Structure 1
């Protein structure tokens, strides 16, 4: 999305869109348009979404759809905003898509819940991994997720830049796990490893290779054997999440010590 297109996306996401100066009375809603696009993307992927396809789903002409949304970039922005789970901290209350902050939880517990809920959103709508990259206009829900994570770190002694980097690091781990799960699901087919997580599928593939080449890769062979011995469960999310939060904990403690010194 280029600079001259941002204004339209901002108006669609953050304020009531300008009413058309002429033409028939508006019969569609931005929410309905977004939901139609989300339905297509959930079923067939983001590549299947087009203005023509969405117009067909809504039983209107493509030109009629353009009276509401100026192009596909803005359409995708509306879809992301519609599909993004509602951050609990923005007052959504209980309900589908609304998160639940742990009662009395500290920054670590709150960020752990945040990360798991974000992963849940990517699992429900894998196409959002493609739709939420690059410089683009973000809507209230998406910015609400950033606000919620930053609020969890408020009072921890981190600078604004450090808190932002911490959120980016955590989100990057979540996205990485979601990307691997998506790739594993798409590539498993009906062969060995189908229906298993990416770690398990990788172990199956490498196991075949290790049968004849283990002597060339002794460390890898030993790691795979140990993983199999302990059940071979996919633990990449938990392991990475704990290590990131452990590191943040050390930084928070260092800042606290510096403030007392």
Structure 2
């Protein structure tokens, strides 16, 4: 039998199948990916070294374009606007793949592309006056907020249902006062983002750029 003219398997197809498996089952195993592709699991290892490399490839696909968001920031520019744009893009990227969040937040980051992006973000935090001792903690806090917001973006608009007794309390009052309940998650994200960036600006030395 002649060999097929086109390759039946490549990295792009494997990563797409892995993301599909995550979307359906929320887990990632090499055997599940091979079943989804209707190939033997050994065939996957002709294209990816192991599960860890597949996780790295998934991370690069999910976060594709994020590092480019910061690549054109002039050296003398302020920190707030480019940092805000990056965080907005970060949330949008993971909101498209919410089931990947559990996987990617529990696996070490080995991607050179991701490391390059973090370098740029940490450079912005340095411009904001964040000390080296607080840099990673600040970056992690921002990521925790953004990833939580990405999960929230996949949640229903009405996340809290109250009975008549609770409706008369502060919770019911707050729910009725929401300006855009149909865009609850977006409103919560922009509110939290403003509070976080205001906090960074308030703690920054007077000489740092805004």
CA displacement 1:194-227 (0-9 Å, x = unmatched):
xx53xxx135x12xx1x23445xx3323323322
CA contact (8 A) 1:81 1:140 kept: no
Q: 1:169, CA displacement in angstroms?
A: 1.6
| Residue 130 (structure 2) pairs with residue 158 (structure 1) | yes
Q: Which has the higher contact order (CA 8 A, sep 6+)?
A: 2
CA contact (8 A) 2:79 2:127 kept: no
CA contact (8 A) 1:107 1:152 kept: yes
| Residue 170 (structure 2) pairs with residue 170 (structure 1) | no
What is the SS of the residue equivalent to 1:38?
helix
CA contact (8 A) 1:80 1:131 kept: no
Q: 1:159, CA displacement in angstroms?
A: 1.2
Q: 1:171, CA displacement in angstroms?
A: 1.2
CA displacement 1:117-167 (0-9 Å, x = unmatched):
001111111122111223514212322332231122233332112232222
Output the TM-score relative to the length of structure 1: 0.63
Q: Select 1:225's aligned residue among 163, 176, 182.
A: 176
CA contact (8 A) 2:19 2:100 kept: no
Q: Select 2:59's aligned residue among 58, 69, 80.
A: 80
Q: Residues 36 and 177 (structure 1 numbering): CA distance in 2 closer, same or farther, change over 3 Å?
A: same
> What's the counterpart of residue 191 of structure 2?
239
Q: Residues 242 and 114 (structure 1 numbering): CA distance in 2 closer, same or farther, change over 3 Å?
A: same
> What's the counterpart of residue 3 of structure 2?
none
**Pairing 1:12-27 to 2, within 5 Å after superposition:** none
Structure 1 residue runs of 5 or longer lacking an equivalent are: 1-26, 92-99, 185-195
Q: Residues 223 and 58 (structure 1 numbering): CA distance in 2 closer, same or farther, change over 3 Å?
A: closer
Distance (Å, rounded) in 2 between the aligned partners of 1:59 and 1:121: 29
> What's the counterpart of residue 253 of structure 1?
205
> What's the counterpart of residue 34 of structure 1?
15
CA contact (8 A) 1:36 1:54 kept: yes
Q: Residues 238 and 81 (structure 1 numbering): CA distance in 2 closer, same or farther, change over 3 Å?
A: same
CA contact (8 A) 1:33 1:54 kept: yes
CA contact (8 A) 2:29 2:51 kept: yes
CA contact (8 A) 1:119 1:174 kept: yes
Q: Residues 240 and 29 (structure 1 numbering): CA distance in 2 closer, same or farther, change over 3 Å?
A: same
Aligned residues: 196
